[in-house]
Structure 1
Amino acid sequence: MAPVSVEAIEQTRQLLEPVIRLTPMESSRPLSERVGGPVYLKCENLQRTGSFKIRGAYTRLSRLSADEKAAGVVAASAGNHAQGVALAAQLLGIEATVFMPVGASIAKLQATRAYGATVHLVGNTLDEAIDHAKEYIAEHGGVMVHPFDHEDILGGQGTVGLEILEQVPDVRTVVVALGGGGLISGIAAAIKPQRPDVTIVGVQAAQAAAWPGSLEAGKPVRLTQMSTLADGIAVGEPSALTYAHVSDLVDEVITVDEDELARAMVLLLERAKLVVEPAGVAGVASVLANPEHFEPPVVVVLSGGNIDPLLMVHVAEHGLVSAGRFLSLRLEISDRPGSLARLLALIGGLGASVVDLEQSRLGSGLPLGDVEVALRLECRGREHRDEVVRSLADAGYRVLSAG
């Protein structure tokens, strides 16, 4: 199966020029310091619809025949492809029906409907939503717009690769979040024929990683279960098309865990002032976890920024805990006047801030005359967190738990 050609991607770029944004390439000082050379962020989270997906979706829809456009399009997506298809359909005057998993992000669901698509919530995974979309087409007609299994989709996504080469001409490593493989296939098809020296790395969420097993088996293999915050790359099985591209053009596929994804989100929020969804930070998470693994200059693609605010708060808090910025403590103190004040004075002297506090005299294992205090503290990092726990123990407090 021949890869999408650079010439085809160049033609697609001309088609997309009046539709998409040339997204910025931002340097990242904290990542550059860790890697020991320049690291740049390709901000597709700032693309129209909040992700790269509009590139492939518009390309696919614009090349349909008049009869196909009249029949309408059908898509399945966890959210970003849904929005891309919905906007592309709106721009081209095509009716769009989209199937999304029941647990899809509310923000992505509302945005898809706002672009004019009819949305059905079905199944628990993207693969189940795709199955329902196929059943709908069999009964009602329409053209399936698969999130990654079509040359036009790959050609559209490949325009990101052309932009990377122009924005960072001396790039040595490109790091891309990897789900079904449409984005990395297109990027690799655009870059490798022109710059075979560039290393292209795909990054999956460890709890939804279909690619390592597929590459080992020599063919697409379907996962039996997935569980990750990174819904945008939670794809249970690659397609034959993307498998051919990734196996031929991508140098390496690695995985990151949920804590690493959360820490990457916090870094981008805090240091880059960028809102990026869990799937979109997979590349950053991999660079944070193993900075010595990537030869600079490095370009990390931030593939999407569509995240529900409540999930963002939850993930950010989880990332802060993982980074040692929060400490939850349970300890015993004497039930005497001034005991709590002395504890809080010690904590303040250690440079930690109390976020919340609760005390109880009802613990079954408490000695008579003691109370249990539960605290949540804000710390400066792991070393400071450990110092606080150690200092409390040295001061004679019985620390029941710390995490």
Structure 2
Amino acid sequence: MTSASDHSSPADPGSLPLSLADITAAAATIRGAVAVTDCNYSRTLSDIYGCNIWLKFENHQFTSSFKERGALNRLHALSSEERTRGVIAMSAGNHAQGVAYHARRLGIPATIVMPLGTPMVKVENTRRHDAEVIISGQTLEEAGAFARERAKAQGLTLVHPYDDSLIMAGNGTVALEMLEMAPELDTLVVPIGGGGLISGMAIAARSLRPELRIVGVQAELYPSMYNAISGGQRPMRGDTLAEGIAVKAPGRITTEIIRKLVDDIALVTEDQIERAVATLIAIEKTVVEGAGAAALGAVLAAPEHYRGRNVGLVLSGGNIDTRLIASVLTRELAREGRLTQLAIDIPDRPGRLAAVASLLAEAGANIIEVSHQRTFSDLPAKATLLELVIETRDKAHLDEVMARLDAAGFKVRL
């Protein structure tokens, strides 16, 4: 994990373009239509990472994301004429669903522009709310350019995913709820994409508890806000599990707020994000997307930064494809030494496969997959390549199995 600090003491939130009064007003506006999600203490995660951890389950919203808070607050501010003409938004998924769901509730026509590569689960969930979905642009920024052109041509109101004071005010209600439910919190860890969530939360938190430490988290592959705050030039590229925070151009307003109020920005690797997703499923029995798990990723990457503190983590969303969940969980089993692929050179004669299988059974390993390859290998004609996927209890058990295979004279490659 990499981190950047831009200031030693927080600014006065009263000097910013959004106030605590705006956020409390947003809380009243969205009350009853957006869930007040749980903020629960996690005894197991606290024991593992040496700090007291509370989890804010925004993945339990109806659309499985905090995004509907800001979206609803923004939609309520439309004039009757704007409601009739309709709205347009660009989004990689969660903002799209929040806008589409609440627009349908309020009888407002909605068009959503989503970039190519948006997970299908998010596309289909958005269509399910009766929004017109347009797939356009390689990135969120390109989708945004298309949305602005369409808004101008058709007289639609653009509902920006983050750089809008009403959006930020709605999002800031997350902090109001967390500090009410867990007043002992002294640290908030919040994912950053364009910055709309952490900006609203930081203003609320600093207004109520100026001493609070606020840490933002970005995917290492998309460090846009990190670069903006630190003056760095880290590249942005590739596919990230945290596509919900893969934003190349952070907001102008959000950058100003984060620069003044956020203590640090941590960058987490894909491996750390994957581990966080798997950990939340295994321990908390909750499904969180990559962006939603980023906050826990920062803690597991550098637990020494949080040791002894009372830490609130925002699980910002839970929209993740089931196939991707399976892949993440399988990869985590491999990291833990519980699932391993072996390649074994054996003589091509009767009984050798059975001998390997018997040895593995005696060692307590479970064979998941078997491939007996005679043709497509560089082994001699009288040899064969045996490829196995085996399940073991942990890394120590795997080492024991490998030692037994070696002692029996089998040449094994991982």
Report the TM-score when normalising by structure 1: 0.94
Could you tell me how far 1:352 is from its partner in structure 2? 2.3
- CA deviation after TM superposition for structure 1 residue 138, in Å: 2.2
In the superposition, relative to structure 1, how do residues 117 and 291 fare at CA in structure 2: closer, same or farther (>3 Å)?
Answer: same
Q: Distance in 1 between matches of 2:278 and 2:152?
A: 44
Answer yes or no: is 1:190 the counterpart of 2:190: no
Provide the residue aligned with 1:127 in structure 2.
141
Note closer, same or farther for the CA distance 1:184–1:364 as it changes in structure 2 (3 Å cut): same
Shift of residue 136 of structure 1?
A: 0.8
Aligned twin of 2:325: 312
2:268–2:297 CA contact under 8 A, matched in 1: yes
Structure 1 position 67, deviation (Å): 1.9
CA distance in 1, matches of 2:167, 2:235: 23
CA contact (8 A) 1:5 1:189 kept: yes
Match of 1:212 among 220, 226, 232: 226
Please give the alpha-carbon distance, in whole angstroms, between the structure 2 residues aligned to 1:383 and 1:134: 56
In the alignment, the residues of structure 2 paired with residue 8 and residue 42 of structure 1 have an alpha-carbon distance, to the nearest angstrom, of 22
The alpha-carbon deviation at position 142 of structure 1 amounts to 0.5
Which residue is 1:28 aligned to? 42
Q: 1:225 and 1:266, CA in 2 relative to 1: closer, same or farther beyond 3 A?
A: closer
Aligned to 1:228: 240
287-296 vs 5-14, greater mean Cα deviation? 287-296
Aligned to 1:76: 90
Contact 2:224 2:236 in 1 (8 A): no
Q: Could you tell me which residue of structure 2 aligns to residue 257 of structure 1?
A: 269
**Secondary structure, aligned partner of 1:169:** coil
Structure 2 equivalent of residue 139 of structure 1 = 153
Distance 2:39 2:127 in 1: 30
* The one of 333, 341, 345 aligned to 1:332: 345
Q: Secondary structure at the match of 1:49?
A: coil
Q: Which amino acid in the other structure matches residue 311 of structure 1?
A: L
Shift of 1:364: 4.2
Change (3 A) 1:309 1:278: same
Amino acid at match of 1:259: D
Instruction: Tell me which of 365, 389, 402 is aligned to 1:389.
Output: 402
Q: CA deviation at 1:370?
A: 2.4
2:367 paired with 1:354: yes
The worse-fitting range, judged by mean Cα deviation, of 28-37 and 232-241 is: 28-37
5+ residue gaps, structure 1: none
Residue-by-residue CA offset, 1:49-80 (whole Å, 9 max, x unaligned): 11000100000010112222222101000010
Counterpart residue number, 1:6? 20
Give 1:76's aligned amino acid: M
Contact 2:51 2:306 in 1 (8 A): no
Asked if the contact 1:279/1:304 (under 8 Å) is kept, the reply is yes
Q: Output the CA distance in 2 between the equivalents of 1:98 and 1:74.
A: 6
Amino acid at match of 1:354: I
Where 1:208 maps in the other structure, the secondary structure is: coil
CA distance in 1, matches of 2:108, 2:347: 71
Contact 1:226 1:234 in 2 (8 A): no
Partner of 2:11: none
Q: 1:379 to 1:288 in 2, by over 3 A?
A: farther
The residue identity in structure 2 corresponding to 1:266 is A
Tell me the secondary structure at the aligned position of residue 193 of structure 1. helix
From 300, 311, 323, the counterpart of 1:288: 300
> Does residue 52 in structure 1 map to residue 81 in structure 2?
no
Structure 2 runs not aligned, ≥5 long: 1-14
Q: Report the CA distance between 1:368 and its aligned residue.
A: 4.7
Percent identical: 42
Partner of 1:247: 259
Q: Is the 8 A contact 1:34 1:291 kept in 2?
A: no
Q: Distance in 2 between matches of 1:278 and 1:318?
A: 14
Deviations 1:267-320 (A, max 9, x none): 111221101111111111222222222142111110001112222222222232
Q: Distance in 2 between matches of 1:197 and 1:130?
A: 37
CA distance in 2, matches of 1:298, 1:372: 51
Distance 1:16 1:195 in 2: 23
Cα shift at 1:212: 1.8
The aligned amino acid for 1:69 is R
Matches of 2:187 and 2:397, distance apart in 1: 34
CA distance in 2, matches of 1:212, 1:390: 46
Q: Is the 8 A contact 2:346 2:410 kept in 1?
A: yes
SS at match of 1:40: strand
User: Is the CA contact (8 Å cut-off) linking 1:75 and 1:144 kept in structure 2?
Assistant: yes
Counterpart of 1:277 in structure 2 is: 289
Rate the CA distance shift 1:207–1:307 in 2: closer, same or farther, 3 A: same
Tell me the secondary structure at the aligned position of residue 63 of structure 2: helix
| Cα distance change on mapping 1:360 and 1:106 into 2, 3 Å | same
8 Å Cα contact 1:259/1:318 also seen in 2: no
With over 3 angstroms needed to count, the CA separation of the structure-2 counterparts of 1:184 and 1:377, relative to structure 1, is same
Q: What SS is found at the alignment partner of 2:127?
A: helix
Please state if 1:303 is matched with 2:321. no
2-structure distance, mates of 1:97, 1:199: 38
Partners of 1:116 and 1:332 lie apart in 2 by 57
Letter in 1 for 2:268: V
Q: 2:412 aligns with which of 391, 394, 399?
A: 399
1:152 corresponds in structure 2 to 166
Q: Identify the range of structure 1 (50-59 vs 335-344) with the bigger mean alpha-carbon deviation.
A: 335-344
CA distance in 2, matches of 1:222, 1:61: 36
Q: In structure 2, the residue corresponding to 1:371 is in which secondary structure?
A: strand
Q: How many Å apart are 1:87 and its aligned residue?
A: 1.2
Distance 1:94 1:266, change over 3 A: same
Q: Whole-Å Cα distance in 2 between the matches of residues 348 and 299 of structure 1?
A: 45
Of the three residues 358, 377, 385, the one matched with 2:390 is 377
SS at match of 2:221: helix
Q: Deviations over 1:122-141 (max 9, x none)?
A: 11221111111011112222
